[in-house]
A and B are shown apart, each in its own frame.
Chain A
Amino acid sequence: MSEIPGDLRFMKSHEWARIEGDGKVTIGISDHAQGLLGDLVYVELPQVGDSVEAGNACAVVESVKAASDVYAPVSGTVTAVNTALADKPETINEDAYGEGWLFVVEASDPDQFNDLLGPDDYADLIEEDDL
């Protein structure tokens, strides 16, 4: 199990969010989630300019095993998507918290970030998951 970076916040459904210096929020799926899904083969991302709402499905990651919805951790407008994943979805398996990011939103309500799980709480959650 790889180390969970301390600046990330999580949803119970295994998405992560990071506030960047410019106030934008980068979003991905956790290393634990990619492990559960196995080899990823296809990623369906929102379009730049789309609005997303916290808790709503806005992307899909598909592995050999299953298709899984990705929920937006915070509301806002999509400002960037990781187009490199179209050809190399396995990047998420290799580097879920780095190169495997999915999309960036300009948060409309930055306070929503504080409702997410911190790294320790998320670590506890996935430990229970493994039992």
Chain B
Amino acid sequence: MTRKTILNDHHRALGARMVDFGGWDMPIHYGSQIEEHHQVRRDAGMFDVSHMNIVDVDGPGSRAFLRRLLANSIDKLKQPGRALYSCMLNPRGGVIDDLIVYFLGGDAYRLVANAATRDKDMAWIGDQITDFDVRVRQRPELSIIAVQGPNARERVLGLLGDAAVQASELGRFAAAELPGTPFGEVFIARTGYTGEDGFEVVASESGAVALWDALLRAGVKPVGLGARDTLRLEAGMNLYGQDMDEDTSPYEAALGWTVSLDEGRDFIGREVVEAHHRDGAPRRMIGLLMEDKGVLRRGQAVRTAGGDGEILSGTFSPTLGKAIAFARVPAGDLSGGVSVDIRGRDVPVRVVKFPFVRDGKPA
């Protein structure tokens, strides 16, 4: 059975082409994916991401539990409102999911994880509770609207009334609960998945509908999951299930920076990823840029001196006007050049650092 967010009718009324995304009926675009992409890079766009899985964790054992559950260190979150990006690993060091954890204050944390992995995440988290004195609650009654782009913050702040002052003071990757907004109580975070500045706003269903309508009136355009994917890839951000999975360690997915090997913290998967950190992982993820015409796509073979790899995420970058991709290849020297098999043609590509695009411009 396909699930719908509270904004489903709004998407249809706005002319969205709907697709199944991890069991959810979601907008892929509202006319032109490329225009929506540019809208976010140049002005402000909004995404309904209410399908994502919000999980609140609290109780006296919550910090100890998250120190065990997550590969990044929850101990970095000292101030309420701070956020951390982390992988949740299996004992083989493979990635069960990636998520953002927010420190709400006291012993309360909020995780925002992927939609398509909801059931396995909840089963895994439930299994790890064992003796920890924690309470884990999904919050399906909450919706999320991400507003992203150089003008996104200004547009949102203009709608928040007296709460705007507090929201305007949020630093990057910080969040706050705002009780008295015109949209009821909202949780607002200066985070996102586009490489642009902006907010992700968590609200009740009625609050989210009112916020969506108000943003539309303020000139913020709706953006579908299609542009969300090209935006995140340009920004060098991984997509779970595509760029990493349960058989990939963070060090094979360019996510080593999210692993905290802090002294004495026994997190799940530590042994394996610590070995990858120490000895190097057998494979690595690289960024590719193609000067030739054409589009790099998932599954295409990538040829290197050290052996073949494959494209994980590939697309046409609307900002660069060229194809970009993440690929996983055997560890080793790439100075001999890298090429991609595109429909039987061996096309040379450049290995480049990512993000591919920063602050709306080629990085």
Question: Is this pair of chains taken from one and the same complex?
Answer: yes
Q: Residues of A at under 8 Å CB distance from B?
A: 35, 38-39, 41-42, 44, 60, 62, 64-67, 90, 93
What chain A residues lie within 8 Å of B32 (beta carbons)? 38-39, 93
CB contacts (< 8 Å) of A90 on chain B: these are 34
B294 touching A38, Cβ below 8 Å:
no
Q: Report the interface size class on chain B.
A: 10 to 19
> Nearest Cβ distance between residue A53 and chain B, in whole angstroms?
19
Residue B297 CB within 8 A of the other chain:
yes
Minimum CB–CB distance for B81 against chain A, Å? 36
Whether the pair A64, B294 counts as a contact (CB closer than 8 A) is no
* Cβ of B226 to closest chain A Cβ, rounded Å: 7
- Whether a CB of chain A sits under 8 angstroms from the CB of B316 is yes
Query: With A38-B226, A41-B316, A42-B316 in contact, do A64 and B33 touch (Cβ < 8 Å)?
Result: yes
B315 close to chain A: CB less than 8 A? yes
B29 within 8 A of A: yes
Asked whether A39 lies within 8 Å of B34 as measured between CB atoms, the reply is yes
Report how far A99 CA is from B206 CA in the complex, Å.
45
User: What's the minimum C-beta distance from B4 to chain A, rounded to whole angstroms?
Assistant: 19
B residues less than 8 Å from A60 (CB atoms): 343
Quick one: given A39-B32, A39-B33, A41-B316, are A65 and B226 in contact (CB under 8 Å)?
yes
Least CB distance, B59 to chain A, in whole angstroms: 44
Known A-B contacts A41-B295, A42-B293, A42-B295; the reply to A67 vs B343 at CB < 8 A is: yes
Known: A38-B33, A39-B34. A64 touches B293 (CB 8 A): no
B343 contacts across to A, CB distance below 8 A: 60, 67
| Residues of B close to A66: CB separation below 8 A | 297
Asked if residues B33 and A42 are in contact (CB atoms below 8 Å), the reply is no
Is B143 in contact with chain A by the CB < 8 A criterion?
Answer: no
Return the 8 tightest CB-CB contacts between A and B, nearest first.
Answer: A39-B34, A41-B316, A62-B295, A64-B316, A39-B33, A42-B293, A38-B33, A64-B33
